[in-house]
Structure 1
Amino acid sequence: MFYSTLSGFLLGLSLILAIGAQNAFVLRQGLLRQHVFAVCFSCALSDAILIAVGVAGFGIAAGSVTWIAETMRWGGAAFLTVYGLLSLRRAWSNTSALAVSDTAGRGLSSTILTVLAFTWLNPHVYLDTLVLVGSISSQAEYPALFGCGAVAASFAFFFSLGYGARLLAPVFAYPAAWRIFDLAIGLTMFAIAAGLVVM
């Protein structure tokens, strides 16, 4: 039982560790200390839902509906491109030079909609959770515990990223750090969008 849970946890953690669009957004919110709990919980809950569906065996069925994957691919690429442009605009203008203690920012509903778009418009999240975690869980001795381990990894990672970001606050007290960060986010968004288009 423990081995199944640990295997699921390690797989889930390995899939989520790469810095992507969603993780960059969580990191930014953590640095700004804005709606951190809601953002982390939304990401982790979304993963939990997708993992549960994948473990239940619906990942294989979803993979056979090709138009869904195509729609998500192009929608995700468009969304990432727009967000990348916004990040570059922040890096170019003075709006990138925000102090970490600055309380100004987008509202809760706007923030949640943005993070949900990063999650649900990303075709890779379906490959990772529905297909990969779902198919590997079917080979585990206890598939449900394997899925629970993967869900636990998502919660642990997102809350660690969101609340751990404040440790970087001294670095981001300098406007130049924000400019570099937003530039890196913008380029990351473009790279992921390009990857979706050519996949």
Structure 2
Amino acid sequence: MTAALIAGFALSLSLILAIGAQNAFVLRQGLRRAHVGAVVAVCCLSEAVLIFTGVAGFGAIAARAPWAIEAMRWGGAAFLVVYGLRSLRAALTTTGALEAVGPARQGLRTAIATTLLLTWANPHVYLDTVGLIGAVAATYGEGRWAFGAGALSASVLFFVALGYGARGLAPVFARPAAWRALDAMVGATMLALAVKLALGA
């Protein structure tokens, strides 16, 4: 069981470390100290549902419905384009330090809705987190639930560290130039992911 737990932790951490729309949003909320607890909680709960759905066998179901994966691929690509362009626009329009570290203009409901959208509209969540983790977990037999627990532990640790650890970077992002650089990086990353999805890579 311990081996399965550690393996699940390692696999999940390797998957979630990649920069993505969800991670970038959690980082942004952490920097602005806005609704961090709610955003992190939504991410963790979503991960729990996705991971244990995969462990329970969603990977096998998805393999029998390739049209669903295709629909998610194009929908996700379109969403990433919109999100990427918004980030690039923000990189060009951010004008002051208060925008970087001050309270978010969006309310709690908007923050939660955005987190849910960035999580569940991302096809890589189903292809990697659900499909891959589910497939690997299946090889552990009765230990698959320990594998899932390890995977979830890594996700929770990552999101908590990202959301609350971002506060340590607040002095850096007190400068408008740093905030613009972050927005530009996020925008470029999202557009690159959109192209990758559209090409089926």
Which one-letter code corresponds to 2:147 in the other structure? Answer: F
Counterpart of 1:77 in structure 2 is 77
Counterpart of 1:188 in structure 2 is 189
Name stretches of at least 5 consecutive residues in structure 2 with no aligned partner.
Answer: none
Root-mean-square deviation (CA, aligned residues, Å) is 1.4
Per-residue Cα deviation, 1:156-178 (whole angstroms, up to 9, x for no partner): 10111010011111110101101
Counterpart of 2:34 in structure 1 is 34
* Paired residues of 1:97 and 1:179 also in contact (CA < 8 A): no
Per-residue Cα deviation, 1:42-62 (whole angstroms, up to 9, x for no partner): 112111101111111121112
Alignment of 1:1-199 (within 5 A): 1-94=1-94, 97-140=97-140, 142-199=143-200
Normalising by structure 1, we get a TM-score of: 0.95
Which one-letter code corresponds to 1:183 in the other structure? Answer: A
Deviation at 1:94, TM superposition (A): 3.0
For residues 63 and 164 of structure 1, the distance between their equivalents in structure 2, rounded to whole angstroms, comes to 38
Deviation at 1:183, TM superposition (A): 0.7
**Secondary structure at the counterpart of residue 34 of structure 1:** coil
Larger mean CA deviation between 35-44 and 91-100 belongs to: 91-100
Q: Which stretches of structure 1, 4 residues or longer, exceed 6 Å deviation after superposition?
A: none
* Paired residues of 2:100 and 2:179 also in contact (CA < 8 A): no
* Paired residues of 1:96 and 1:182 also in contact (CA < 8 A): no
**Secondary structure at the counterpart of residue 91 of structure 1:** helix
For residues 183 and 196 of structure 1, the distance between their equivalents in structure 2, rounded to whole angstroms, comes to 20
Normalising by structure 2, we get a TM-score of: 0.94
For residues 194 and 101 of structure 1, the distance between their equivalents in structure 2, rounded to whole angstroms, comes to 31
Deviation at 1:129, TM superposition (A): 2.1
Deviation at 1:99, TM superposition (A): 4.5
- The alignment-based identity, stated in percent, is 57
* Paired residues of 1:84 and 1:189 also in contact (CA < 8 A): yes
Aligned length: 199
Deviation at 1:104, TM superposition (A): 3.8
* Paired residues of 1:96 and 1:178 also in contact (CA < 8 A): no
* Paired residues of 1:21 and 1:185 also in contact (CA < 8 A): yes
Per-residue Cα deviation, 1:59-87 (whole angstroms, up to 9, x for no partner): 11122212211211111111111111111
Name stretches of at least 5 consecutive residues in structure 1 with no aligned partner.
Answer: none
